[in-house]
Amino acid sequence: MATRPPTQDIDESKLRVGARETSAVGVPAVVHALKISVEQMGLVRSAQTLLRVNQKDGFDCPGCAWPEEDRRHTAEFCENGAKAVAEEATLRRVEPEFFARHSVSELSEHDDYWLGQQGRLTTPMLLDEGGPHYRPISWDAALGHIATALRELDDPNEAVFYTSGRTSNEAAFLYQLLVRGLGTNNLPDCSNMCHESSGSALNQTIGIGKGTVSIVDIHEADLLIVAGQNPGTNHPRMLSALEKAKERGATIVAVNPLPEAGLLQFKNPQTPKGVLLGGTKLADDFVQIRLGGDQALFQAIGKHLLEAEDREGGVLDQAFIREHTAGFADYAAHIVDIPWVQLEEATGLTEPRLREIAELARRSKATIVCWAMGLTQHKHSVPTLREIVNVLLLQGHIGRPGAGVCPVRGHSNVQGDRTVGIYEKPAESFLSALDEEFAFTSPRAHGYDTVEAIRAMRDGKVKVFMGMGGNFVSATPDTRVVEQGMRNVELTVQVSTKLNRSHVVHGRRAIILPTLGRTDRDRRAGVDQRVSVEDSMGAVHGSRGRLAPPSDDLLSEVAILTRLCELVFADRPGAPRADWRALESDYAGIRAHISRVIPGFEDYDRRIDKGRIFYLPNGPRDERRFPTHNGKANFTANALEYPFIPDGRLLLQTLRSHDQYNTTIYGKDDRYRGIHDGRRVVLINAADIAELGFAAGEVVDLVSEWQGPTGLEERRAEAFRLVPYDTPRRNAAAYYPETNVLVPLDSTADVSGTPTSKAVVVRLEKRV
Ligand SMILES: Nc1nc2c(c(=O)[nH]1)N[C@H]1C(S)=C(S)[C@@H](COP(=O)(O)OP(=O)(O)OC[C@H]3O[C@@H](n4cnc5c(=O)[nH]c(N)nc54)[C@H](O)[C@@H]3O)O[C@H]1N2
Ligand SMILES: Nc1nc2c(c(=O)[nH]1)N[C@H]1C(S)=C(S)[C@@H](COP(=O)(O)OP(=O)(O)OC[C@H]3O[C@@H](n4cnc5c(=O)[nH]c(N)nc54)[C@H](O)[C@@H]3O)O[C@H]1N2
Ligand SMILES: [Mo]
């Protein structure tokens, strides 16, 4: 039997701090995931559901974007994948009576944990202006409201359309068509806060904003550098791939301020060794770097390689550099001039230590660098990632087996959403193909990204906000500003599976459209529909849910969008033309449109049929073809940057606990880090606690400091407990989304505009 949802918010007074774990997964993970599954969906449904994750012709795991090893074998057990599935397949329900019982203002007092744990949304709901309660509304009326609001806008740029990365290719393609058909490119997405820096750096240097490796390359790599990523929690299936690489002799280097359990030791629940014995030691070397020191680390590696080439030759791939790259001379001249002392200062590592790491690179025949948020959410993320490309280019490690760049994506279809057009700065080639397919003219002016959308909302320039999944209010930086911005909007619309803060911090009128998730059967016109997604390595495959949906009153994202298109575009001059009803009753029709608009999707429907997978073309990976402005892979010379921490201050990174999926809080533990029954903690070096005059276990306020246009700005997050932790001096860590109030809206990465969630200057204050 499933259990009832929690009745209270997290009670931080129950917090316990225990020892850190030194290995990941193993039997405790299986037990924990099963416990959560059974609580959410009972025993029978748990068994039925968990066996279908990532199976041939089953559903794509809504957990992360790490690719499948082989979809024909039994499901690979993944603790956090199982938790993501249980969250969605839960038997708990949020029905109209729930909203009748709780006013919106009462709901807004609850935390993300309580809200998300109430269960699946079942019915479209409307909140009238000034209304204390959401009330049920029919689909026709809800969609009618939205269409009218959109059609009545004086300027389509007064609407903002957010996307989170779970939306299927089919729905995302229709969504961008709706938005462009209306006349705007205001398509901010979670990617703006996530891997945007990766896209920016890679597009410029190698001509494609994606990684260049497949899962087979991971197995075949000689050296794997995993930087700024915590796969034990966020991409658990990656650990099996690393284990396989390891068995074939690969060297693994973990670059992280924190000793993350999964990277250091892995107990594979699939193998007897993992279950019964100590498991596999994954990282051969743990490089405990300072927050934001990675650009310096990769410059140091490059510098060492260049020096070795000078001394003994045979280190660099000169033929590759000559034939395929540009900018080598400028890069080399720049790097040799950077003094070692600066590289030491930035990384917190000594020159001999930096050279030791660089030696691993020198000896490697095939290097892959994997990274995630630890590298993308800094002011200097784009130059940092360009520096990774530099190092790989030196030895020709792009477009060769076992080598390349591997940005590890988060949301299960965030990469696919971008491929099919969720982008505020679309390419001309995409727009012209779209225009031709649907006989209209899309807008050319760029739209708002996430931070720009918040500014526009703050400044009262947005009348309609629509969220296709996600939780805009909690996921974005500078929570107070975002909340005010949401309240300025006339109509907020959220297409969601579960309740979250973006429903209870709302515009003057608000609509909730409940939708199907990946695990739900999607039956249209009497036929089970399938959708498709793209994983982190550019492989596209189908996904088909099998469970009875949480209510009969849900529409799929696709159906919501086809109906909106029909209503919004009816008799609208110059609007896109398509047979919306036919698309709703057979999603293959949407795939046919996509196949004519986006290169690489030819014969789309057939190539995902019967559990098949296909890879999208990738010039650098497939044929060392670099579609940049000069047709070459570009070295870049980047001035060294690293964060400055004023005296008496700390640099705070905001990260995920083991029991959460972004703003969805599954539970109250961060088992690997030894945190139990609470979330408001700051992990901090014991010497800093003492030096700043505090005591371990003390509860403090965090105050962020930001030099704004009119002087020093302060933002406060109250009541966090100090936990002594193995982190470099003056580098602290705390969980998101609780700390998003501290992240200044204007603190963004150069070029990509990503909020600097891994580098917030804070001071600790005694509680009064
Ligand atoms: N279970 C679960 N799975 C998830 C998610 C989830 O919330 N829960 N979220 C999904 C999403 S959307 C994403 S984007 C990914 C996120 O996956 P991750 O990027 O692994 O997530 P974070 O928790 O932000 O962890 C950042 C890691 O980088 C390290 N780090 C921080 N700053 C630096 C730095 O300056 N240098 C270096 N070298 N390391 C640094 C941190 O110590 C931490 O280990 O996971 C996806 N998968
Ligand atoms: N401080 C700080 N801020 C961060 C980050 C950080 O590391 N630190 N990380 C950033 C990153 S990497 C990301 S990706 C963003 C995440 O930002 P978002 O993607 O906006 O946030 P999520 O918490 O993943 O969204 C959860 C909600 O999505 C809805 N949902 C789930 N599945 C589906 C579905 O299939 N369809 C629909 N329509 N809705 C669904 C549910 O209602 C759920 O409440 O946050 C960013 N914010
Ligand atoms: Mo993400």
User: What contacts 671, CB < 8 A, 6 or more positions away?
Assistant: 21, 28, 32, 658, 659
Ligand 1 neighbour 377 (Cβ under 6 A): no
Q: pLDDT tens, 157-180?
A: 999 999 999 999 999 999 999 999
CATH 3.40.50.740 maps onto the chain at 114-186+413-606
**pLDDT interval class at 740 (50, 70, 90):** very high
Query: Mean pLDDT over all residues of the chain?
Result: 94
Residue 516 has pLDDT above 90, yes or no: yes
Query: Cα-flanking dihedrals φ and ψ of residue 130, to 5°?
Result: 75, -5
Map tokens 């999926």 to a residue.
661
| Ligand 2 nearest-atom number relative to CA 115 | 44
The closest residue, in CA terms, to atom 11 on ligand 2 is 194
732 has which bridge partners? 652
Which pTM does this prediction carry?
0.96
The Cα–Cα gap between 747 and 379 comes to 7
Give, for ligand 2, the residue of 107, 112, 663 to mutate: max count of ligand atoms closer than 8 Å to Cβ: 663
Radius of gyration of the chain (CA): 25
Ligand 1 neighbour 64 (Cβ under 6 A): yes
H helix runs in 118-195, sequence order: 139-151, 169-182
Question: What is the model's pLDDT at position 45?
Answer: 78
Q: How far is the CA of 654 from the centre of ligand 1 (A)?
A: 9
**Amino acid letter for position 752:** S
Q: How far is the CA of 409 from the centre of ligand 3 (A)?
A: 7
Give, for ligand 2, the residue of 471, 482, 558, 666 to mutate: max count of ligand atoms closer than 8 Å to Cβ: 471
The closest residue, in CA terms, to atom 22 on ligand 2 is 470
Residue 745 has pLDDT above 90, yes or no: yes
Q: How far is the CA of 191 from the centre of ligand 3 (A)?
A: 6
Q: pLDDT tens, 481-491?
A: 999 999 999 99
Ligand 1 neighbour 123 (Cβ under 6 A): no
Q: Which residues of 181-198 are buried (b: 16+ CB within 10 A; e: fewer)?
A: bbbbbbbbbbbbbbbbbb
Task: Give the architecture-level CATH label for domain 650-766.
Answer: Beta Barrel (2.40)
Q: How far is the CA of 537 from the centre of ligand 1 (A)?
A: 18
The closest residue, in CA terms, to atom 39 on ligand 2 is 469
Residue 86 has pLDDT above 90, yes or no: no
Q: Is 702 in contact with 720 (CB distance < 8 Å)?
A: yes
CATH 3.40.228.10 maps onto the chain at 201-412
User: What's the topology of domain 201-412?
Assistant: Dimethylsulfoxide Reductase; domain 2 (3.40.228)
Neighbours of 511 (CB within 10 A): 25
The closest residue, in CA terms, to atom 8 on ligand 1 is 661
| Ligand 2 nearest-atom number relative to CA 502 | 44
Residue 73 has pLDDT above 60, yes or no: no
Query: Cα-flanking dihedrals φ and ψ of residue 475, to 5°?
Result: -80, -25
Q: Which of 255-269, 304-318, 375-389 comes out lowest in average pLDDT?
A: 255-269
**CA torsion through residues 749, 752, 757, 758, sign:** negative
pLDDT more than 70, % of the chain: 97
Question: What is the model's pLDDT at position 70?
Answer: 63
Residue 74 has pLDDT above 60, yes or no: no
Q: Which ligand is nearest to the CA of 422?
A: 2
| Ligand 1 nearest-atom number relative to CA 292 | 35
Residue 646 has pLDDT above 70, yes or no: yes
Q: Which ligand is nearest to the CA of 64?
A: 1
Residue 274 has pLDDT above 70, yes or no: no
Q: How far is the CA of 512 from the centre of ligand 2 (A)?
A: 16
Per DSSP, 21 falls in state: P
196-to-188, 257, 422 alpha-carbon distances in Å: 11, 22, 12
Ligand 1 neighbour 234 (Cβ under 6 A): yes
Q: Which of 38-47, 330-339, 633-642 comes out lowest in average pLDDT?
A: 38-47
pLDDT more than 90, % of the chain: 86
Ligand 2 neighbour 549 (Cβ under 6 A): no
Q: Which ligand is nearest to the CA of 466?
A: 2
Ligand 1 neighbour 227 (Cβ under 6 A): yes
The closest residue, in CA terms, to atom 23 on ligand 2 is 663
Q: Which ligand is nearest to the CA of 164?
A: 2
**Amino acid letter for position 399:** G
Ligand 1 neighbour 655 (Cβ under 6 A): yes
H helix runs in 618-679, sequence order: 619-623
The Cα–Cα gap between 747 and 754 comes to 8
The closest residue, in CA terms, to atom 31 on ligand 1 is 374
Per DSSP, 746 falls in state: T
Q: pLDDT tens, 469-505?
A: 999 999 999 999 999 999 999 999 999 999 999 999 9
Q: pLDDT tens, 337-395?
A: 999 999 999 999 999 999 999 999 999 999 999 999 999 999 999 999 999 999 999 99
Q: Which ligand is nearest to the CA of 727?
A: 1
The Cα–Cα gap between 653 and 636 comes to 27
The closest residue, in CA terms, to atom 26 on ligand 2 is 470
Q: Which ligand is nearest to the CA of 450?
A: 2
Q: Is 471 in contact with 494 (CB distance < 8 Å)?
A: no
Q: Which ligand is nearest to the CA of 89?
A: 2
| Ligand 1 nearest-atom number relative to CA 194 | 14
Residue 72 has pLDDT above 50, yes or no: no
Q: pLDDT tens, 575-606?
A: 999 999 999 999 999 999 999 999 999 999 99
Q: Is 496 in contact with 467 (CB distance < 8 Å)?
A: yes
The Cα–Cα gap between 68 and 54 comes to 7
Question: What is the model's pLDDT at position 75?
Answer: 54
Ligand 2 neighbour 288 (Cβ under 6 A): no
Helices and strands, counts by H and E, the chain: 32, 33
Tokens in use for 634? 């570009």
Question: What is the model's pLDDT at position 278?
Answer: 67
Class of CATH domain 114-186+413-606: alpha beta
Q: How far is the CA of 121 from the centre of ligand 1 (A)?
A: 28
User: What contacts 297, CB < 8 A, 6 or more positions away?
Assistant: 227, 255, 287, 289, 343, 347, 349, 354, 357
Residue 570 has pLDDT above 60, yes or no: yes
Q: Using N-to-C axis directions, what is the helix angle for 328-337 and 294-312, rounded to 10°?
A: 100
Question: What is the model's pLDDT at position 281?
Answer: 86
Tokens in use for 410? 């988060």
Q: pLDDT tens, 406-462?
A: 999 999 999 999 999 999 999 999 999 999 999 999 999 999 999 999 999 999 999
Ligand 1 neighbour 55 (Cβ under 6 A): no
The closest residue, in CA terms, to atom 30 on ligand 1 is 374
**pLDDT interval class at 707 (50, 70, 90):** very high
Pick the more confident residue, 699 or 48.
Answer: 699
CATH 2.40.40.20 maps onto the chain at 650-766
Q: pLDDT tens, 532-566?
A: 999 999 999 999 998 999 999 999 999 999 999 99
**pLDDT interval class at 76 (50, 70, 90):** low
Q: What is the mean pLDDT of residues 20-49?
A: 77
